[in-house]
Amino acid sequence: KNQVEQSPQSLIILEGKNCTLQCNYTVSPFSNLRWYKQDTGRGPVSLTIMTFSENTKSNGRYTATLDADTKQSSLHITASQLSDSASYICVVSALNAGGTSYGKLTFGQGTILTVHP
Amino acid sequence: DSGVTQTPKHLITATGQRVTLRCSPRSGDLSVYWYQQSLDQGLQFLIQYYNGEERAKGNILERFSAQQFPDLHSELNLSSLELGDSALYFCASSVDPSGGAREQFFGPGTRLTVL
């Protein structure tokens, strides 16, 4: 069964500090992995999308890594800000029999990050 | 603002009723996705349409149905509503028909409360 597991479930850090969120998946065959940021009550916003051949992708202070061999990804946040307080969701897309990834999305439960001043 | 619009923002109804949620994708996007987010289940993919045709189905109940119209807006119909259907329903759009490595833009969501 395709699964995506994120850790930790929640994390509290002080403003200005760095943190790393983890995502382990068993989705196969792999198509791509996305990290989303979701503020409470709002729609998710895409941070990064990585395919099999990419092992690092940055978006400002957010850097995602992907190890397709060990099926692990991490999201590193540098110099955290109060506005980084949100849920971070890892989503893995699988290929279907036709070689496309129509709708074959598996979502992690998310890591709730709280940044304190 | 993602460019994806959803109406209504909030919906309160009773068990057994039927409701329709509406989504307008970003200009130029042909793919529309529907998601359900409840407190205990997290985000779940329901269904995808591309240019009017159903492309993929996720965990969508038989009581739920959707369609995408020629002007590309989409509607999600929920019938015989149960308490457990209370959730945030998100619509997302993308230019990519295959759901591949292209960004999906999410709307603000419709909060459905079933009493």
CB spacing of B58 vs A42 below 8 angstroms: no
Residues listed for chain A: 117
Give residue B99's pLDDT band: very low, low, confident or very high (50, 70, 90). Answer: low
CB spacing of B99 vs A100 below 8 angstroms: yes
Burial class for B6, CB neighbours closer than 10 Å (0-12, 13-18, 19+):
buried
Q: How far is CA A47 from CA A41, A44, A50, A81, B62, in A?
A: 18, 9, 10, 16, 33
CB spacing of B103 vs A49 below 8 angstroms: yes
Residue A80 has pLDDT above 80, yes or no: yes
Give residue A20's pLDDT band: very low, low, confident or very high (50, 70, 90). Answer: very high
How many C-beta atoms surround the C-beta of residue A45 within 10 A?
A: 14
Q: ∠ CA A25-A31-A37 to the nearest 5 degrees?
A: 65
b vs e for B47-85, b when ≥16 Cβ sit within 10 Å of the residue's Cβ?
bbbbeeeebbebebeeebebebeeebebbbebeebeeeb
Residue range B47-76, pLDDT digits in tens = 999 999 998 888 899 999 999 999 999 999
CB-based contacts of B71: which residues, under 8 Å, 6+ apart?
none
Task: Return the pLDDT at A115.
Answer: 97
- Give the strand pairing for A56-59 and A62-67: antiparallel
Considering only the beta carbons, identify the residue of B48, B58, B109 that sits closest to A43: B109
> How far off is chain A from B55, nearest CA to CA, in Å?
7
| Contact B103/A at CB under 8 A | yes
